[in-house]
Amino acid sequence: GESVGLHLPTLSVQEGDNSIINCAYSNSASDYFIWYKQESGKGPQFIIDIRSNMDKRQGQRVTVLLNKTVKHLSLQIAATQPGDSAVYFCAENDFGNEKLTFGTGTRLTIIP
């Protein structure tokens, strides 16, 4: 598969444990914050988003937390599985300039 980043922050988690991936954003005017998952050799895939007027949103096995005070976003993955191994990107969406700005990504490895 393709190598999407040789100098990414990495996180290794035992299968079945919970993982937390963190992201700092820069634009306080962003309207949405989004998490994408990129598996080796594939394009990014949408996981979950959260509006700027929310603090928390839950999906299937995933929770996103937004702290606007410190411009911090996190993705929690519960009961991790081998298929969760991937690079995870946060992104911020500013409707005003119609742009989606991505972070540099974190590589999550699930240890069997």
Partner 1 sequence: EAQVTQNPRYLITVTGKKLTVTCSQNMNHEYMSWYRQDPGLGLRQIYYSMNVEVTDKGDVPEGYKVSRKEKRNFPLILESPSPNQTSLYFCASSFGRAPEQYFGPGTRLTVT
Contacting residues toward partner 1, per CB under 8 A: 2-8, 32, 34, 41-46, 49, 89, 91, 93, 95, 98-105
- Minimum distance from residue 5 beta carbon to partner 1 (Å): 5
Residue with token string 């996981």 = 47
CA pair distance 47, 25, nearest whole angstrom:
18
Shorter beta-carbon distance to partner 1: residue 18 or 97: 97
As a whole number of angstroms, the distance between CA 58 and CA 62 comes to 6
Q: How far is CA 78 from CA 17, 48, 63, 64, in A?
A: 7, 14, 8, 11
Nearest distance from residue 15's CB to partner 1, in Å?
27
For the bound state, the minimum distance from the C-beta of residue 13 to partner 1, rounded and expressed in Å, comes to 22
Kindly state the smallest distance separating residue 16's Cβ from partner 1, in Å. 29
CA distances from 13 to 58, 59, 77, 103 (A): 21, 20, 11, 21
